[in-house]
Amino acid sequence: MLIEEKLIQLGLKLPEPPDPKGNYVGTKFAGNTAYSCGQGPFSTTKRGLIGRDLTLDEGYKAAQETCLNCLAQLKKHLGSLDRIKQILHVVGYINSAEGFMDQPKVLNGYTDLLVKLYGDPEGKPARAAIPVHHPGWIAVEAYMVVELVN
């Protein structure tokens, strides 16, 4: 089944990929590998610290939206998400309130979606869920590295 058909079955849709806001590209290629630039959740998502301004569930949803934005960047440059053979690596920065310790559960919103789309083990990446503390900023920023089909 095509990846975008799976998204539709999940009730999800890829957004239009945002243009870079600085001196960088949305996707970079090195041989058989593609790197998405860092993305955040949809602009409709509340900003702030997870564990203070957002609940764990809201953080999970923000991470899922961040994944959709990364996939949109990759699709823009690949033409099709079916060119992705496997997800290699995901790094997520979780905007966390003091004492909040569930960054991995937040980033599951990102990686659970990848496993639903690409399966296990292809959709299950190595990853890091890194806490940051920046009041008023987006809840999650993340990027991914993928291996492409030859």
Q: Is 39 exposed, middle or buried (0-12, 13-18, 19+ CB in 10 A)?
A: buried
What is residue 150's predicted lDDT score, i.e. its pLDDT? 84
What is residue 1's predicted lDDT score, i.e. its pLDDT? 64
CATH superfamily of 37-148: RutC-like (3.30.1330.40)
What is residue 107's predicted lDDT score, i.e. its pLDDT? 98
What is residue 94's predicted lDDT score, i.e. its pLDDT? 98
pLDDT in tens, 24-62: 999 999 999 999 999 999 999 999 999 999 999 999 999
Q: Find, among 11, 146, 140, the residue nearest to 75 by Cα.
A: 146
Prediction pTM value: 0.96
Residues 6 or more apart whose Cβ sits within 8 Å of residue 47:
53, 136, 137, 138, 139
Segments of the chain scoring below 50 in pLDDT: none
